Structure 1
Amino acid sequence: MRDHDLPARERRTRGKRRFDDDEQLFLKRGRAAEPALADPDAEPDPDTGERWSSWDDAVHGPQPHPEWLVTELAAKDTELGMLKTGKEADVHLVRRAVPGTDRSCLLAAKRYRDPQHRLFHRDAGYLEGRRVRRSRENRAMAGRTAFGRQMIAGQWAAAEFAALARLWEVGARHGTITVPYPVQLRGTELMLEFLGDQEEGLAAPRLAQLRPEAGELRELWGQLVDALVVLARA
Structure 2
Amino acid sequence: MKTPHALQALIDDGVIDEVVRPLKSGKEAAVYVVRGGGEVRCAKVYKDMAQRSFQQRVQYQEGRKVRGSREARAIGKASRYGRKQQEDAWKHTEVDALYRLREAGVRVPEPHGFHHGVLVMEMVTDADGLAAPRLGEYAPTPEQARAFHAVLVRQVTRMLCCGLIHGDLSPYNVLVDADGPVLIDFPQVVSAAGNNAARTMLLRDVNNLTAYLGRWAPELLDTWYGEELWALFEAGALQPDTALTGSFAHDEHAADVGSVREAIEEARQEALIRQQGREAAAAEGR
TM-score, normalisation: structure 1: 0.56
- 1:87 corresponds to which letter in structure 2? K
Matches within 5 A, 1:80-99: 80-97=20-37
- The Cα of 1:138 is off from its aligned counterpart by 4.0
- The Cα of 1:163 is off from its aligned counterpart by 1.4
- String of CA shifts for 1:20-50, please: whole Å, max 9, x gaps: xxxxxxxxxxxxxxxxxxxxx98539xxx95
Q: Larger Cα Rg: Structure 1 or Structure 2? A: 1
Corresponding residue of 2:155: 227
Q: Which has the higher strand share?
A: 1
Corresponding residue of 1:157: 91
Corresponding residue of 2:14: 53
- 1:44 corresponds to which letter in structure 2? Q
Aligned length: 157
Corresponding residue of 1:133: 68
Selected match of 1:181 from 89, 97, 110? 110
Distance 1:88 1:225, change over 3 A: closer
Segments of 5+ residues of structure 2 without an aligned counterpart are 163-286
Distance 1:123 1:168, change over 3 A: same
Between 222-231 and 124-133, the greater mean CA deviation after superposition = 124-133
CA contact (8 A) 1:91 1:111 kept: yes
Corresponding residue of 1:213: 141
SS of the residue 1:203 aligns to: coil
Distance 1:197 1:105, change over 3 A: farther
- 2:20 corresponds to which letter in structure 1? L
Q: 1: distance between equivalents of 2:93 and 2:46?
A: 13
Q: 2: distance between equivalents of 1:132 and 1:91?
A: 27
Corresponding residue of 2:39: 105
Q: 1: distance between equivalents of 2:142 and 2:127?
A: 27
- 1:117 corresponds to which letter in structure 2? Q
Corresponding residue of 1:169: 103
- 1:186 corresponds to which letter in structure 2? H
Q: Which has the higher helix share?
A: 2
Segments of 5+ residues of structure 1 without an aligned counterpart are 1-40, 55-75, 98-103, 172-176
Q: 2: distance between equivalents of 1:167 and 1:153?
A: 22
- The Cα of 1:211 is off from its aligned counterpart by 0.9
Matches within 5 A, 1:1-150: 44=8, 50-54=11-15, 76-97=16-37, 104-129=38-63, 130-135=65-70, 137-138=71-72, 140-144=74-78, 146-150=80-84
CA contact (8 A) 1:114 1:150 kept: no
Paired-residue identity, %: 31
CA contact (8 A) 2:6 2:45 kept: no
Q: 2: distance between equivalents of 1:93 and 1:145?
A: 35
